[in-house]
Amino acid sequence: MAPSGIGSVYYLGRNPSRDAMIAAIAGLVCGVLSGLGIGGGTLLMVYMTAIAGMEQTTAQGINLLYFLPTAACALFLHAKNRLLHLKTILPAAIAGCVCAVGTALLATEIDTELLRKLFGGFLLLVGIKELLYRDKKDK
């Protein structure tokens, strides 16, 4: 039984030309949003799981591969504009890598449905925070 997303939009594998075009459009939209600092990778996950009906773990793998070139482009531009703060980046990157390995191993053992619910809960909490709390800079 193939998973289905909103309105049974699960299309992968049925029409390679259309699949490539839809994936390119999703990548384009998420790339623009990434460039604006909105979190295109997270939105790509929402598209792949909720709309395209893709398995959570498959979508995570695709999202990781999507992240590599988009992050490299953003890193280049941030470095060019001198927006990188290495004293913050290095400890955060080291801690993030250590935690990512452990969590990735754990994610392969967690039930896919639970993983989807955890991801949805995370998105809900972030959305509530964005709606209810303003940055101190905005005041």
Q: What is the pLDDT of residue 6?
A: 46
Residues 51/11, Cβ–Cβ less than 8 Å: no
Q: What is the pLDDT of residue 139?
A: 56
Per residue of the chain (139 residues), what is the pLDDT tens digit? 444 544 344 455 667 788 788 888 988 998 888 877 777 888 899 888 888 888 888 888 899 898 888 888 888 988 999 999 999 999 999 999 999 999 888 888 888 889 889 988 998 998 899 889 877 665 5
> What's the rounded Cα separation, in Å, for the pair 53 and 101?
26
Give the relative orientation of helices 112-132 and 56-80 as an angle to the nearest 10 degrees: 40
Q: What is the pLDDT of residue 7?
A: 39
Name the residue with tokens 């990434």. 34
> What's the rounded Cα separation, in Å, for the pair 28 and 12?
18
Q: What is the pLDDT of residue 93?
A: 94
Residues 34/40, Cβ–Cβ less than 8 Å: yes
Q: What is the pLDDT of residue 88?
A: 93
Amino acid identity of 84?
Answer: L
Q: What is the pLDDT of residue 43?
A: 87
> What's the rounded Cα separation, in Å, for the pair 106 and 93?
20
Residues 112/58, Cβ–Cβ less than 8 Å: no
Residues 32/40, Cβ–Cβ less than 8 Å: yes
